[in-house]
Amino acid sequence: MSVTKKELYRLIDALPEGEIEAARRFLEFLITQDAAVYTLISAPFDDEPTSKEEDFEAKNAWNEHLKDKSVSSDDAAKEIFGE
């Protein structure tokens, strides 16, 4: 049986107030089965402002990516770790 997110939203809207916290914990449990996903959703929000230099470097990196001049993560790992 295929369930859509729309159906899940309908179920969430129908939850009694006393069950909302349990539903949140269960949904987080489902999401956090992947360690990478857990790390991303549990990380604190980074609200530190960037410096002009960081903005400049990020813009340059994005432009290199758009011109297909960026380095893949595999190639970067080989360069860094000599693999």
How many structural domains are present in the chain?
A: 2
Q: How far apart are CA 75 and CA 2, in angstroms?
A: 39
Q: How far apart are CA 51 and CA 63, in angstroms?
A: 18
SS3 assignment, position 27: helix
- The pLDDT score that the predictor gives to residue 14 is 96
Are 38 and 16 within one domain?
yes
pTM of the model: 0.40
- The pLDDT score that the predictor gives to residue 1 is 67
In the predicted structure, residue 82 carries a pLDDT above the cut 90? no
Are 35 and 59 within one domain?
no
Q: What are the structure tokens assigned to 7, written together?
A: 């159906």
Provide the domain limits for residue 75: 52-81
Residue-wise pLDDT tens digits, 22-81 = 999 888 888 778 778 778 777 888 889 999 999 999 999 999 989 988 888 898 888 899
Q: How far apart are CA 12 and CA 19, in angstroms?
A: 10
Are 10 and 37 within one domain?
yes
List, in order, residues 6 or more apart from 35 with CB less than 8 Å away.
none
